[in-house]
Amino acid sequence: MPPTVKSDISVRVKSDPRPQGGSVRIGELSRRSGASVRSLRHYEQHGLLDAARTSGNYRDYPDTSLDTVRVIRTLLQAGLTTATIGRLLPCIELIGGQATPCSDLLTELHHERWRLDQQRQALARSTGILDTVIAAAR
């Protein structure tokens, strides 16, 4: 069972200064967010992004998707899976570039942190073993 730690959890992302309410195509969203077109399709496939389809079957994303993609990328960099991010996104409120998850998710976030710490410890053990093998080969 993972240990419980009290913490204030927030993620800072850069907000786009452009007015909200429009839509962007996948190429523009890719350019503005820094995420590849392939990544955006992957996020959509996993239910992290929603896109309307034009009459020509092009993806049309709401302007708010830019901030969503930035949050997704930040959480992926933190080591969370797309499945976990999918559970977090509906509960994240973005105000002035500050993405804050609701307190209901603190347990899950603490579990993810514990899981990452376990991975870090396993890597440290592996590195130690490899160092021993390297030293023996000298």
Helices 26-33 and 37-45 pack at an angle, to 10 degrees, of 110
Q: DSSP letter string over 73-84?
A: HHHHHTT--HHH
* Highest mean predicted confidence (pLDDT) among 5-9, 91-95, 123-127: 123-127
115 burial level (CB within 10 Å; 0-12, 13-18, 19+): middle
Mean pLDDT of 39-49: 95
pLDDT of residue 58 exceeding 90: no
Compute how many other C-beta atoms are within 10 angstroms of the C-beta atom of residue 88: 22
In sequence order, what E strands does 37-81 have? 52-53, 59-62
What pLDDT sits at residue 138?
87
pLDDT of residue 85 exceeding 60: yes
Task: Show me where the domains of the chain are located.
Answer: 11-137
Q: Could you read off the pLDDT of 62-80 as tens digits, one per residue?
A: 988 998 999 999 899 988 8
CATH of 11-137, picked from 1.20.1110.10, 3.20.130.10, 1.10.540.10, 1.10.1660.10, is 1.10.1660.10
Name the 3-class secondary structure at 115.
helix
pLDDT of residue 4 exceeding 60: no
pLDDT of residue 20 exceeding 70: no
| CA atoms of 56 and 53, how far apart (whole Å) | 8
| CA atoms of 105 and 51, how far apart (whole Å) | 26
| Higher per-residue pLDDT: 10 or 114 | 114
Strand ranges across the sheet with 98-101: 11-12, 98-101, 92-95
| Mean pLDDT rounded to a whole number for the chain | 83
Mean pLDDT of 87-94: 83
pTM of the model: 0.70
